[in-house]
Amino acid sequence: MDTKVLVIDDEIHIVELLKFNLETFNYKVDYSYDGFDGFAKAKDIKPDLILLDWMLPNISGIDVLKKIRSDKTLKNTPVILLTAKNMENDKVEGLEIGADDYITKPFSIKELLARITSVLRRYNINNVDEESILSIGKIKLDLSKHEVTKGDEKVELTLKEFELLKLLLQNKGKVLSRNYLLDKIWGYEYYGETRTVDVHIRYLRKKIESEDASEKYIETIRGVGYKIE
């Protein structure tokens, strides 16, 4: 089955360029020139990956991304932001909201194809021989169901939070540096910028730990990274 890519971009020539090149490499391409329509189309066709322009009419790409990450049926869909913005703070904002990668215009098709391949590979890293259940204390992570529970209650995690918890649980007792987590979860070294890792760890802690000291699972190793014993 061809991989389905949804392009949401208001520049017709960009859409045509992407459609032609992606279809050459056997991707099935749908497209939209508007954020609201693009979000509705995403819910309808359930794409394997979304290429999302930052600057869209009517609603910004960032707001579309927020809607995607808040939607039960789309929240785990890979998203690559396409934009003319090249400021570091913009990149951090996109990654913190949930973008899987970020590429600035103008870009080469070869680079974009490589990034698409990398992102899709990260979404299919669960090998059949992986241990299906990972746990610590009341927390249980089920790889086969892609869900996390705390006792009898299901914990709603974003994809990045799920991957962070999974990686920490798979490496119990080991200190994982922030740069290592960036590379494994986001797929590339983000110029040593580790704030996005800290933000996701903070959100993850709020969801799986208690406010008192009875349920503290993630340990901060000052100046290095994080670990779970």
pTM for this prediction: 0.63
CATH (domain of 161): 1.10.10.10
What is the tally of structural domains in the chain?
Answer: 2
118 and 137 share a domain? no
Torsion over CA: 125, 128, 133, 136 (sign): negative
10 and 63 share a domain? yes
Residue after which a domain boundary falls, among 103, 122, 141: 122
Residue after which a domain boundary falls, among 122, 151, 170: 122
φ/ψ (deg, to 5) at 95: -70, -40
Residue after which a domain boundary falls, among 98, 122, 146: 122
Question: What is the C-alpha to C-alpha distance for residues 120 and 71, in angstroms, rounded to an integer?
Answer: 20
> Counting Cβ atoms within 10 Å, is residue 206 exposed (0-12), middle (13-18) or buried (19+)?
exposed
The answer to whether residue 44 is domain-embedded is: yes
The answer to whether residue 169 is domain-embedded is: yes
Strand arrangement, sheet containing 153-155:
133-136, 139-142, 147-150, 153-155
113 close to 21: Cβ distance less than 8 angstroms: yes
The answer to whether residue 128 is domain-embedded is: no
The answer to whether residue 179 is domain-embedded is: yes
12 and 114 share a domain? yes
46 and 145 share a domain? no
11 and 100 share a domain? yes
The answer to whether residue 173 is domain-embedded is: yes
18 and 115 share a domain? yes
The answer to whether residue 198 is domain-embedded is: yes
The answer to whether residue 127 is domain-embedded is: no
- Measured between its terminal Cα atoms, the distance across the chain in Å is 41
CATH (domain of 81): 3.40.50.2300
Q: What is the pLDDT of residue 185?
A: 80
Closest CA to 228 of 218, 215, 214: 218
163 and 118 share a domain? no
210 and 181 share a domain? yes
Q: Whole domain around residue 169: which residue ranges? A: 133-228
- pLDDT tens, per residue, the chain with 229 residues: 578 999 999 999 999 999 999 998 889 999 999 999 999 999 999 999 999 998 898 899 999 999 999 898 898 899 999 887 666 566 677 777 788 888 888 888 888 998 898 888 877 644 334 458 888 988 999 887 788 999 888 999 888 888 899 999 988 889 998 888 887 787 655 555 678 888 889 999 999 988 766 788 899 998 889 999 8
